[in-house]
Amino acid sequence: MCGISGIMYKNARRDGLANVGGDLVKMLDSLAHRGRDSTGFTVVGEQFDEDLIVRLWTEDANNSELALSNVEEAIGRVGGVVITKRSWGDFLRFTVNYEGEVPRLAEALMNTDGVVIHSIGEVSEVVKDIGVASDMEDKHHISKLRGTHGIGHVRMATESKVDITHSHPFWAYPFTDVTVVHNGQLTNYHKLKRHYQTMGHRFLTENDSELIAVYLADKLANGDKLESALSQSLDDLDGTFTYLVSTKDGMGVAKDRWAAKPLVTMQTDDVVAVASEEIALRSVFTDEELDRVEPQESEVLTWSV
């Protein structure tokens, strides 16, 4: 069991950014009973002065200064310029000006000793850690993150180890701003992973859910629309899944043919929210009369800002 949730303020580009981080904390806290191993967020939509936001994790929290300088050097080596850098505990965050190809930057970071990339985004960043949402607040201040939309996940690990890097959301290396949260198990993970590896894709973890992110990003990079990529995944992915994807300007959900994993949605003219359980939707919508809809098997839904 895991819990997923997402929220989008459909008019936020016109009306201003919303408290997406705060909403996700509330929703994921109310889903904590679905998984207490780890919690993660993607918040999307803030336009930064710099080209890219890079989030990383270092295995040596006592030596984060070294990690910061190693990463800065790696970014510089491929022509990037670090504008801001920050570390807290074992987490690192950089804002970078970079005009080159993102895969080249990602490769340089991947080859940097002692650090793991959590996300590279133009308008999004991934925050994930061990524990439940409310535990993370003091450390990561997620409820201060504003945006147009975001997705989140609480994990009860079944498929790979419990650590920060194997937590959701999974960033689709090396495609900016594509991240996925997943409730379920993929049964053709190894086969598809080998297929994408032979095509040159890299995987950062042993977690089956990372495959969905790479799968979708590959389709989007080849010109597919989000909705058609999600629909195609219903045939290509085996196993049980309800997953959420966030992109630069969109959010989508796909539910497997068995309807094995839960999801409910609620929306107004301005906001759409989705979650594994209604209890999470009730934590952000106060209107008791608002209808909630449970998507059925093989259903795909997308929204955009």
Partner 1 sequence: MVSIDARQLSATEINRKIKEVAETSGEITILNPQARHNIAVGVLKPCKINVEGSVGYYGASLMDGPEVHISGNAGWALGENLMGGKITVTKDAGASVAASMRDGDIYVGRNVGARAGISMKGGTLLVGGNSGFLTGFMMQKGRIIVCGDVGDAVGDSMYEGVIYIGGEIGSLGADAREEEISEGELIELWDVLEQHGITEKPRFRKIVSEKKLYHFDTLERLEMSAV
Task: Tell me whether residue 1 or residue 83 sits nearer to partner 1 (CB atom).
Answer: 1
The correct pick among 60, 236, 270, 297 for binding partner 1 (CB under 8 A) is: 297
Task: Tell me whether residue 49 or residue 291 sits nearer to partner 1 (CB atom).
Answer: 291
Task: Tell me whether residue 63 or residue 185 sits nearer to partner 1 (CB atom).
Answer: 185
Q: How far apart are CA 34 and CA 68, in angstroms?
A: 35
Task: Tell me whether residue 13 or residue 33 sits nearer to partner 1 (CB atom).
Answer: 33
- Residue 108 binds partner 1, judged by CB under 8 A: no
Query: Within 13 A of 76's CA, how many CA atoms are on the CB side?
Result: 8
The first and second tokens of residue 23, run together, are 């909403």
Residues 6+ apart with CB under 8 A from 183: 1, 2, 3, 4, 153, 241, 242, 243, 261, 262, 276
Cβ burial of 224 (10 Å; 0-12, 13-18, 19+) is middle
- Residue 291 binds partner 1, judged by CB under 8 A: yes
- The SS3 call for residue 247 is coil
In the bound complex, what is the minimum distance in angstroms from residue 283's beta carbon to partner 1? 8
In the bound complex, what is the minimum distance in angstroms from residue 78's beta carbon to partner 1? 49
256 neighbors 240 (Cβ within 8 angstroms): yes
- Residue 294 binds partner 1, judged by CB under 8 A: yes
In the bound complex, what is the minimum distance in angstroms from residue 296's beta carbon to partner 1? 5
- Residue 23 binds partner 1, judged by CB under 8 A: no
The correct pick among 262, 265, 284, 302 for binding partner 1 (CB under 8 A) is: 262
- Residue 264 binds partner 1, judged by CB under 8 A: yes
- Residue 258 binds partner 1, judged by CB under 8 A: yes
Which residues in the 119-148 window bind partner 1 by CB under 8 A? Answer: none
Q: How far apart are CA 155 and CA 167, in angstroms?
A: 7
Q: How far apart are CA 26 and CA 286, in angstroms?
A: 13
Applying CB under 8 A, which residues contact partner 1?
A: 33, 257-259, 262, 264, 277-279, 281-282, 288, 291-294, 296-297
